[in-house]
Amino acid sequence: MGTYYGSGRTNNEAEMFAARDCIAVLAKLSKRMPQLQLPIRVFGDSQLIIRFLTKQYKNPTKHTMYWALHEIWELEKHLKSPIAYRNIPRELNTVADNMCHKALEAKETVTFHNGEIPPDAPPNQLNDVY
């Protein structure tokens, strides 16, 4: 899914909100399925956001990002599995980047049903072991 977070948002805000939404879904799944305890890997192509999430950087100065980050840390407490954040180069994250651009162009959330990659999306260049 590519989510549109409204006009006037920076790319960093959108990436932080997307991370928050991702962790919120994982927290709900963890609550519904407590027996599911697999390691969680979250990939992002924004080195800045990954460094905030891993606490390598102190709190962001932008108010909206600050609150989203703290929401993420609160949600992480409800996860039963360890979580690891990993930065990947944007050029290796072409499918997700393409979906986000579609949402931005449409100015609305774009959903791809059943998790299927759209036929016009560029090939994923991230190998399985990454």
- 57-81 per-position pLDDT tens digit: 988 888 888 899 999 999 998 888 8
Considering only the C-alpha atoms of the chain, give the largest distance between any 2 of them, rounded to a whole number of Å. Answer: 41
Which amino acid is residue 13, in one-letter code? E
- The pLDDT of residue 101 is 74
pLDDT, averaged in runs of 10, over the chain (130 residues): 78 88 88 79 87 89 88 89 84 73 77 61 54
Q: Which domains does the chain have, with CATH numbers?
A: 11-113 (3.30.420.10)
pLDDT at 112: 61
* Predicted TM-score (pTM) of this structure: 0.73
